[in-house]
Amino acid sequence: MCGYVSGVPPKYVPTGEAAREIGVGRATLARWWSDGLVKPALVTAGGHARWDVDDLKRQLAERPRASGG
């Protein structure tokens, strides 16, 4: 058994591509990562984030919403 839900390993994408997929700017996603609001699937030896977009969307959906006002 491989451990992946679909039997296929997730596709990891760079920050810019992940940001486009969720409709925000690259700098916004990088700031969310820096602030600890989201976590990439992996970080390369060079310090670059790689994202599983489905996991990123899950992280954002589970994140508590800030109350306005």
CATH of the domain at 34: 1.10.1660.10
The answer to whether position 38 is within a domain reads yes
Q: What is the pTM of this model?
A: 0.80
Count of domains observed in the chain: 1
DSSP 46: T
pLDDT single digits (tens) 34-43: 999 999 999 9
Give me the domain span that covers residue 46. Answer: 12-62
Tens of pLDDT along 10-65?
799 999 999 999 999 999 999 999 999 999 999 999 999 999 999 999 999 998 87
